[in-house]
Amino acid sequence: MREARPPPNTPEDAARLVIQTLKRHQKADVEGLLSFYGLLLPQDLVPLSAGVPASLPHGVLFELQTLPVDARAVADGDTITVYVSTSDPRESCSVPQDVHIAALESLAARAERKYSHADALHQTIINSGYRVLNLKNGEVLAKKYRIRLRGIDAPLSTMPYGKEAKEELVRIVEGKCVRVLVYGQDRYERSVGDVYCNHIFVQEAMLKKGLAWHGITPLSFFISAVGEGGARAKRIGLWASSNPEKPWEWRKDRREGEMNADMPKRMVTKVDINFSSGAKCQIEKSHAFYCICATTPANVKAMFSNNNVIRIL
């Protein structure tokens, strides 16, 4: 007896389920049923590839099989936090002993209703990169991983379509266990990898929905480029805009803006100095700089050697 499929979470999922279930029926009958219930027709659905690779692709360092993903763990359209049970063979041999002890003591403290002590122990566990999760089948000690979806760049939450990108990623992964093929780590110590959920290649789904740009790094470059190209052609998602703002340019502009905001205002005071030798120079003093003209004598320049000095030629 075949296992029942999980119920659809969205009208799009419902349309896919109807189409798959009635695939042996006449096309007109299926489309009539979809139209009656206000669901998307087959030609309006974003096509998705049959996802998970049979063997690990070249370059994969390790694989993660996660616990169900919490919606609050989705930071934006290309970053999620996942947890892997410490009963997983890869994790079980690397859990610090103090984390194991803290988990047992926390469980005992809760049983004795010493909640403040239990919370303090759990905070120690969290600080070590772990967490005790309350799941349907009981409490599970799990290792935390921050995942950066490899090869795509989604709008940040504060950018146009950032909210939609985050919501779409939540829709795909919420409450589901995902498979992550990890290729490396970025400068923010996030694991960079490909994410699969219910046989859906998540990055490809985001691209085809027009909610991310493809990068130049993924081995599946062709799939990424085609996925983005289809969304562009159909003007889906962020491509509905004639000139959507790129996340990497937005981040660059914001960094430069913060740098400029941190620069001290140059409240300049100019001082003309005449020396007995007949030499003259002008010194400008701001909050952070002494600006000295090129003709300033060496002994005067030495007076400012411990400051940020800019010569005026």
Q: Mind listing the domains of the chain with CATH numbers?
A: 11-44 (no CATH), 62-201 (2.40.50), 269-312 (no CATH)
Average pLDDT over residues 168-187: 94
6 band by pLDDT with thresholds 50, 70 and 90: low
Contact yes or no for 133/126 (Cβ under 8 A): no
Q: Is the pLDDT of residue 131 over 60?
A: yes
Structure tokens at 101: 């002890």
Strands 79-85 and 74-76: antiparallel
Quote the Cα angle for 96-102-104, to 5°.
110
Q: Is the pLDDT of residue 44 over 80?
A: no
Return the pLDDT at 287. Answer: 44
The SS3 of residue 76 is: strand
Q: Is the pLDDT of residue 86 over 90?
A: yes
Contact yes or no for 154/167 (Cβ under 8 A): no
Return the pLDDT at 189. Answer: 94
Average pLDDT over residues 28-54: 69
pLDDT (tens digit, 9 = 90+) per residue, 260-275?
665 554 445 555 666 5
Residues 6+ apart with CB under 8 A from 232: 210, 239
Return the pLDDT at 218. Answer: 46
Radius of gyration of the chain (CA): 29
- Looking at residue 105, what DSSP letter applies? H
CA 53, chain centre distance (Å):
23
Return the pLDDT at 199. Answer: 82
CA 191, chain centre distance (Å):
10
Q: For residue 170, give the nearest of 206, 204, 201 by alpha carbon.
A: 206
Whether this prediction's pTM lies above 0.85 is answered by no
Cα distance from N-terminal residue to C-terminal residue, the chain: 87
291 band by pLDDT with thresholds 50, 70 and 90: low
Return the pLDDT at 309. Answer: 44
